[in-house]
Structure 1
Amino acid sequence: MFVGFDYGSANCAVGIMQGDEVSLLPLSTDSAYLPSTLYAMDRELIAEAVYRALPAELKADYAKKRAAQLSRARMVRHELDLDAESPAVFVGEQAVAAYLEMPEEGFYVRSPKSFLGATGLRPEQVALFEDIVTLMMQHIKVRAEAVLVQKGMASKDEARITHAVIGRPVNFQGIGGEESNRQAEAILTLAAKRAGFVDVAFLFEPLAAGMDYEAGLKADQTVLVVDVGGGTTDCSVVKMGPSHKASFDRSRDCLGHSGQRIGGNDLDIALAMNAFMPHFGLGSLMSNGKPMPSNPFWNAVAVNDISAQREFATLSTRKLIDELIKEAEQPNLLKRLLKVQQQQLSYQIVRLAERAKIALSDAHTTESSLEFIEAMLSAEVNRDCFENAIEPSLGKIEALMHQALTQAAKSLTGNGLAPEELSVEAGTAECQPDVIYVTGGTARSPAIYAKITSLYPDTPVVVGDHFGSVTAGLTRWAQKHFAQ
């Protein structure tokens, strides 16, 4: 069976074609979306969990590559008094629940996709992310196949998922270029093979979102797709419509692309820094009147930065916070930061910021409880605070839109453009889109939507399914790509 597989930064989803319509399979208890999270009682247990779920023909090679981790996993089970069958690694909503119950005792990773293109990863770190992605894909594939049978959508034999088109951002990392993209695709490809997929292909996520929109078009259009997701923002300028959608090669229709690792995760971190970290000492003074250094506060919330999180967890950071407590005018604030460091509560703070961000989509003010830090502690967050926090991110989204339209203009120039297809924005020739199609979970924010619509006020804006459009497009393309 062919599927579209959105291995997202915030959520994962799988779609199948039923006739001419796309159906998303329920991967969570009450949702088609599985949170992109993993929790292990010890990181060495991840390799063990992968090994147990591997296809038989891959076990020997994997056991050889991960011999050290598998050996340590046996020791860890003994140390934790876990029998051989006790579950010790969790995915999705179960991972979130396990982390909230035992934040300081295990290994938790949110949005592993955000790390796949990171520069400077050591071989053992690449291996760890290979295992994390493999385990998540194993879980999702088994869940999806079970749902197909349970809901009577396929027999047990027909329900075997063999081929998938996986979405990918235009750029996994802003600074790593194509080397980062190759690294990330290699991790995803290997993980898919180990999870039991026979073949996979990749498609830019904004293109996938655009293809879902295209399915309903009655006339040709030039579309600027703006996909503001959990980990990245991607823009594509694509010629779409009845005369284009039947083509198997869409390369000539794709006029411009841009993308950067700036998404919902970054907005959550920025909001956590601006709204919550002042309650932990950010912006306060030391007894000598000098401002408190900001670096430990940033490291505390930068959960999508490997080096920042590694630095925050070190003994030297704990000693630094101890020294700051002694020198602070308000030492009680710094003691809260020390608790975050000691009990590994960074993800809980950023998760709280995410919930505040969502609440501010419908309200001007929201109250966030920080009682997991200290009794009666809370923070009021309003839209002004949120908009100030994300202003740098909004500027980057604007730049990506201009970049894609400028690149599209160059493509049209090379193809003998019609003058009416161009406009001049910010002193640079840009392609003039017929419509802007906005998708991605983060684009639900009124501040994001207002920014996008303000840039091209005369261009119609269509809002797609914020969460499902990418998966739907991937599913449509999987049917076309693998059925050739």
Structure 2
Amino acid sequence: MGTAEDRHLAVGFDFGTTNSSVAIVDGDARVRFASFPSAGGETQSFRSVLYFEQYRNREGAKRTHALAGPAAIEHYLQTDEKGRLVQSLKSHLSSRTLTGTEVFGRRYKLEELISRMLNELRKHTSLQFGQSIRHAMVGRPVRFVGADTEDDQEFAVSRLRAAFSLAGFERVDFEMEPVAAAYTYEATLDHEELILIGDFGGGTSDFSLLRVGPEVRRRGRTPADLLGNSGVGLAGDSFDARIIRKLVSPALGSDSEARSLNKLLPAVPAWIYANLERWHYLSFLRTNNVREILRSARIRALEPEKIEALIAVVDEDLGYQLHRSVQELKFELSRAQEAEFRFREAGMDLRITVTRAKFESWIKEELEAIEGAVDTLLQSSGVDPHVVDRVFLTGGSSFVPAVRRIFENRFGVARIRGGNEFTSVAHGLALRAAELK
């Protein structure tokens, strides 16, 4: 049981692949968000990252220090000698092979790494609202990244629950993230609607079809109000991977060759570039084995300068900078028909013009998978698109024009709604927690 002082707080906890947020409903029934200090001022978005660095204490012994969230990003960017930035941990929850990683000689389990972020969020929120937080309504995707079976899904949930327990939570309840977003939209209604929620995170795209409105709230929500869920384990990170494959990897030698026994072979193994495409995997390349592979490739390569640039990206752990450049390109392409990709790090100065049409051709397979999930939901629920009153889209990738077209083509522009794209899930989770009190 939690302390007496936290029992009237309803807490919604949205732990995301890229960003996290926390909302509470207190005694006056208002939803309020936890805010976190950053270089740009207070923010309601907590970056889901950890930064480890080493230092020597007064006795000269090495110690490891860890930071989370905005402070982790800012410290990482300000430090000349980079430590270890660990990102997108939520994407690994369903993996039975990735149990953890080594940082400065110490092995950390995945649940322990996640718990460090969750504990920072819990402590900061407790301090802000002056009450110990030990209970939370926690969001979960309809389908976790990499989860192929229901056993994979349950395994991911059990690991997430364990991480919350390590972070000091005494009880957590789970709700589907798109259902939580539906609670946020429902709070604006004065009539009943049948809605489709599309929640686009960094790692997953999730969809729910449900009935909402004041009458549903008055009589109490029933299982029959949720007509169905569907989801795919891809979203913003998958779009990013395509940009890196097409624009960045060639500049780092993905198409380069090396001479070996009078034969021309790929200079660097393809799996290294596959890890580069997942910016949260980049830290895992900082091993002695990978460094040796790249040093050997540089000696034999026909374009050694490209391999040298790849070595710098890995050694300096530039995944965040790479991710930031990709995000800027996606943002500009959401507003204009063409934009320039810019990446100036590690001796590279990439400036490449990209059209929206070209970008959409790169993510064609991902768009088809999202379309398939939406159509599967409609078919399995027996719902015709014409009877859906509104479509509420949330999450960063909901801004991508090609994603919005999927819904506009099925439901019409007039029925599409959005808003609070980065906090709507936490808001709805808090409302859901309040409903159960």
TM-score range relative to shorter protein: 0.7 to 0.9
- Whether 1:90 and 2:67 are equivalent positions in the alignment is yes
Determine the C-alpha separation between the residues in 2 that align with 1:392 and 1:80: 56
Q: Spell out the pairing of 1:63-462 with structure 2 (5 A cutoff).
A: 81=60, 88-102=65-79, 105-122=82-99, 128-148=109-129, 156=130, 159-284=131-256, 294-304=270-280, 310=284, 312-326=285-299, 328-374=301-347, 376-409=349-382, 421-422=383-384, 432-457=387-412, 460-462=415-417
Choose which of 28, 37, 55 in structure 1 pairs with 2:49: 37
Note the C-alpha offset of 1:398.
0.9
Note the C-alpha offset of 1:285.
5.4
Partner residue in 1 for 2:421: 466
Distance 1:252 1:212, change over 3 A: same
Determine the C-alpha separation between the residues in 1 that align with 2:316 and 2:257: 25
Of stretches 252-261 and 170-179 in structure 1, the one that deviates more from structure 2 is: 170-179
Distance 1:336 1:135, change over 3 A: same
Letter paired with 1:299: N
Partner residue in 2 for 1:26: 35
Residue deviations 1:252-303 (CA, integer Å, cap 9, x gap): 2111111122122222222122122222123355676777664432222323
Partner residue in 2 for 1:479: 434
Distance 1:200 1:286, change over 3 A: same
Residue deviations 1:183-230 (CA, integer Å, cap 9, x gap): 232233233233333321110000000111112223222211111112
C-alpha root-mean-square deviation of aligned residues, in Å? Answer: 3.1
Note the C-alpha offset of 1:338.
2.5
Q: Is the 8 A contact 2:147 2:153 kept in 1?
A: no
Residue deviations 1:220-251 (CA, integer Å, cap 9, x gap): 22211111112211001112223322355432
Identify unmatched segments of 5+ residues in structure 1: 43-75, 149-155, 410-420, 424-430
Determine the C-alpha separation between the residues in 2 that align with 1:372 and 1:304: 18
Letter paired with 2:307: L
Note the C-alpha offset of 1:309.
6.3
Distance 1:245 1:134, change over 3 A: same
Letter paired with 1:434: D
Letter paired with 2:273: F
TM-score if structure 2 supplies the norm length? Answer: 0.84
Greater strand share, structure number: 2
Q: Is the 8 A contact 1:104 1:345 kept in 2?
A: no
Distance 1:183 1:31, change over 3 A: same
Q: Percent identity?
A: 27
Q: Is the 8 A contact 1:214 1:245 kept in 2?
A: no
Note the C-alpha offset of 1:22.
1.8
Q: Spell out the pairing of 1:43-54 with structure 2 (5 A cutoff).
A: none
TM-score if structure 1 supplies the norm length? Answer: 0.77
Give the 3-state SS of the residue equivalent to 1:246 in structure 2.
helix
Letter paired with 1:454: N
Give the 3-state SS of the residue equivalent to 1:244 in structure 2.
helix
* Aligned residues between the structures: 417
Letter paired with 2:432: W
Determine the C-alpha separation between the residues in 2 that align with 1:250 and 1:450: 32
Of stretches 386-395 and 129-138 in structure 1, the one that deviates more from structure 2 is: 386-395
Q: Is the 8 A contact 2:200 2:236 kept in 1?
A: yes
Partner residue in 1 for 2:4: none
Residue deviations 1:426-452 (CA, integer Å, cap 9, x gap): xxxxx9522221111221223322333
Give the 3-state SS of the residue equivalent to 2:217 in structure 1.
coil
Q: Is the 8 A contact 1:269 1:353 kept in 2?
A: no
Q: Is the 8 A contact 2:34 2:125 kept in 1?
A: yes
Letter paired with 1:121: L
Of stretches 351-360 and 279-288 in structure 1, the one that deviates more from structure 2 is: 279-288
Partner residue in 1 for 2:5: none
Determine the C-alpha separation between the residues in 1 that align with 2:173 and 2:88: 21
